[in-house]
Amino acid sequence: MKWEFALLLNLAFVSATHHGSGRGHRKGCLDSAVSSKGMKIVDGVNTTASRTSTEGYNFLTNQTEQYLVTSLPEVSFEFGELYSGSISMDADNSTNNSSLFFMFKPASTAVDEVVVYLNGGPGCSSLTAFMQENGPISWQPGTFAPVQNPYGWSNLTNMLWVDQPVGTGFSQGPITATSQEEIAADFVRWFKNWQRAFGISNYKIYLAGESYAGRYVPYIGSAMLDANDAAYFDLKGSLLYSPTIGSFMYAQEQIVAYPFIASHNNLFNFNQTQMATMESMHLGCGYQNFTDTYLTFPPPGYQLELVWNSTAMQSCAPWNYASANVFNINPCFNPYAINLMCPLLYNPTGTAHSTGQTTAGQTPYFDRSDVKAAIHAPNITWEACAPRSVFVGSGGPENKGDTSADPIQSVLPRVIEATNRVLVGTGTFGKLNLVESGLTTPNSDFVVISNGTLLAIQNMTWGGELGFQTAPNATFTVEMEDLMYVDNFAAAGLVGWDGAQGRMGTYHYERGLMFVETMQAGHMVAQFQPRAAFKHLQWVLGRIDTF
């Protein structure tokens, strides 16, 4: 939802270096991800490495060779088998001139499954996740150059990142969508064409994504179930980070905003008058009573229907009030991770500021002509998030032109019940202490607030019951040792200081749904806590049965 915050910020105003080069070998290390073979250093500067061999590539054929990525600018190491390009929505390209752009990284070891990863927005490119979250290459804001990602999800499975719907990233065609049902139908049609191009059939399919993909993924999953075609749509599970599954501008933002701010005011630093204003909104608009009633385990019943009107309800908008005032205090405020402070870090993918602005004079990595040529991208302007809506018209539950019902009403329960492997994850900051009456669970994501996500879950029926019957309280631990910075510690004589993380959050499982709050993670969980995200995926894929 990266452009989403900039848009909401406008409404709010109207109303009121580390270069991670560590690649040391450690027991349990993901060897295929951390090999330094092929690296070139010239006068201390990394240069592009050329591929030395395609031996053992599982998906390389005469048909797929056109998509093979042989090198990437600034990437100084071999990254193995990688494909990218555009594939038409229709197999014969006769009735529809739309195409979706993809990046495909096969697994280190052959497996008969594919994980599809989608970014949100709506209209944000999944290439940002490829580069900064769960792909084989990691180029984080403020770092010198891209490095290998030892926690890349292709170490577990075949990974496919897709720019969708039409109008997102490098995907092209007329924008016609008015609903999630239409977007899902387009994606399912495209995905079958993609599988045919790569000779894939009878694979287990998993859908994953973040933010507004909380709407994309359940609807696409439901469409796959409707297709009843195990050869191409054998859906086995889903993973959703910081997902917009309920009334996200109301229940997942405004209602839970003040308790969030009160728990984190050491980071916001609002004065007493500002805090009193937001507290008055919270109490006067009934938000405290709402959460006292419905953020309970088990819930007493369905919640009152919530419809947000950004024009008429500004006096009940503590989230908007905070967004309109926080930049006076911290001009570098980042709602995706509120613990980040000035200065603004150079971001290779382009977006350096919450307003959506890039670093002056910068060409985003994926908008460079040499990068476009390397990944077989169309010669169009690439932006991390689309400058215009990917929906036509207006209206819908959140006034975005998306007329579909919230996923909790039907499609998400259906996917949970069909697969029994759905994970909903949020990011937290600080200790975890859910207090039902005060909503004080600390978390660092101010875009989709964790307790708002719990409110959405408590308003969803699946497996014959409404919501979780028990509050999340089990300890989530991460046993994987550091693989990214191990050489740095070794060089400093601090071998062993960067071991397993241990306790990293709280989780709860009921009736096929796993909920996980991950500590020290913001909106993009896989970016801020990649080891935890790696374990989340292990559960979704069935590699482990519990945390």
Active site residues per annotation: 211, 445, 523
Please tell me the distance from the alpha carbon of residue 167 to that of residue 364, in angstroms, as a whole number: 18
Q: How far apart are CA 298 and CA 277, in angstroms?
A: 32
The torsion region of residue 531 among left (phi > 0), alpha (psi -120 to 50) and beta comes to alpha
Max CA distance (Å), the chain: 67
Q: Whose CA is closest to 118, among 200, 196, 199, 180?
A: 180
User: With contact defined as beta carbons under 8 Å apart, do 359 and 343 qualify?
Assistant: no
Nearest to 503 by CA among 514, 517, 515, 513: 517
As given in the structure block, the two tokens for residue 446 are: 């101010």
Given strand 158-163, what is the order of strands in its sheet? 83-88, 99-105, 158-163, 113-118, 204-210, 234-241, 422-428, 513-519, 502-510, 474-478
Structure tokens at 452: 């708002």
- Between CA 415 and CA 33 the distance in angstroms is 32
Q: How far is CA 8 from CA 5, 285, 320, in A?
A: 5, 20, 7
End-to-end Cα distance, the chain: 28
HSE (CB half, 13 Å, CA atoms) of 206? 29
Q: Residue 435 gets which letter from DSSP?
A: -
What letter represents residue 64's amino acid? T
Contacts of 358 (CB under 8 A, 6+ apart): 347, 350, 351, 352, 364
Note the residue count of the chain.
547
Q: How far apart, in whole angstroms, are the C-alpha atoms of residue 160 and residue 114?
A: 7
Smallest CA-to-CA distance from 149 within 493, 524, 534 is with 534
Q: Could you give the CA distance from residue 483 to residue 381 in angstroms, rounded to a whole number? A: 35
Name the strand (E) or helix (H) holding 98.
none
Q: Are 541 and 113 in contact, with CB atoms under 8 Å apart?
A: yes
Identify the CA nearest to 67 among candidates 55, 46, 48, 83. 83
CB crowding 9-33: b at 16 or more within 10 Å, else e:
bebbeebeeeebbbbbebeebbebb
What is the rounded distance in angstroms from the CA atom of residue 153 to the CA atom of residue 341?
Answer: 29
Query: Cβ distance 398 to 248 under 8 Å?
Result: yes
